[in-house]
Amino acid sequence: MAIRTDLAQEAHALAQEAGRTSALPGVEAMSWSEAGTALTLVKVLSQEGERAIGKPRGSYLSLALDAVRRGDRTAREQAQRLLCRKLEELTGLAPGQSVLLAGLGNRRATPDALGSLTAERVLVTRHLTSQYPDAFPGLRQVSVLQPGVLGATGVESAELVHGAVETVRPDALFVVDALAAASPERLFFTIQLSDAGIVPGSGIGNARAELSQRTLGIPVYSLGVPTVIDAAALTGEDRPELRGMVVTGKDVDAAVQRCAGILSGALNRFLQPTLTEQELAWMLELQIM
């Protein structure tokens, strides 16, 4: 039974299990704990590695947010700060570089709304830095795009993102999207950060056009949280009626909102390090109004 997952950590473990080996050619993996959070880094180094786990070349960092399960606000804030540090380490983004953030997915389908919910909470500054450069010297130029889905717009997300990249000309693209997992315990409590870009929908067998440095010409970083799981993987049965079916958790509404809050909080801290928490909150409130 072929099990689909967007998480490189799971794909690596599944490939090891299938090959009955701890070492996969062209793939490096390591795990450690930091600030009470379990982290796993999987690096795909070659074409052989790409074939081994079915993921494009690049680095994939996963954070297991077990402490957040308690519903503790402090745990969520710690997760934001840790993710912010990992964004700094993985991207190496310079202070003056501009960013376009694309929140993918269907805002009307809760399990697929993570990208849109995150994007609408990220501070947008391109208009401010362009019109009033002297008034906002420390702000990074940030633009946000919510391209929606093909069925609602008639346009592929990748086409809209490509057009925005050509118009805005950012130094880097960040993409946020809901992911698919192979293990139910990872739903809503694992964040994956990658510098390999993203192929939206690949984890549920509905792959769309790739968003990567190869296709767009600028660095592309992806962030995601699994919100669905393959039904066959959940039951362990390869029945015809389960093929292509995905399921989610019963608390999906609250869980996706929580995940969007963690991702957007980390992104705002990372993108605007010169702003205090109070300044960020004030500017976001004005943006919403």
Please give the pLDDT value at position 199.
Answer: 83
DSSP 102-130: EEES-TTSGGG-HHHHHHTTSPP-HHHHH
CA distance 24 to 8: 13
What are 162-212's pLDDT values in tens digits? 999 999 999 999 999 999 998 888 999 999 999 999 987 654 555 567 899
CA distance 255 to 174: 22
What are 76-126's pLDDT values in tens digits? 899 999 999 999 999 999 988 999 999 999 999 999 999 999 999 999 999
Please give the pLDDT value at position 180.
Answer: 92
Mean pLDDT of 14-27: 83
Q: How far is CA 65 from CA 34, 250, 267, in A?
A: 11, 19, 17
Using an 8 Å Cβ cutoff, are 113 and 105 in contact?
yes
Helix axes 252-271, 277-288, angle to 10 degrees: 120
Torsion sign across C-alpha atoms 31, 39, 185, 149 = negative
What are 237-289's pLDDT values in tens digits? 667 666 677 888 888 999 999 999 999 999 999 999 999 999 999 999 888 65
Amino acid symbol at 246: V
CA distance 152 to 54: 29
Mean pLDDT of 119-144: 88
Going by their DSSP bridges, the two strands 246-247 and 220-230 should be labelled as: antiparallel
DSSP tag of 180: E
CA distance 230 to 203: 9
Instruction: Dig out the tokens for 85 from the structure.
Output: 């540090």
CA distance 32 to 109: 35
Closest CA to 210 of 194, 225, 226: 194
CA distance 176 to 68: 20
Amino acid symbol at 61: L
Torsion angles phi and psi, residue 103, rounded to 5: -100, 105
Locate the domains of the chain by residue range.
8-288
pTM score over 0.85? yes
| Class of CATH domain 8-288 | alpha beta
CA distance 96 to 139: 8
CA distance 177 to 102: 9
Q: Which is higher by pLDDT, 31 or 133? A: 31
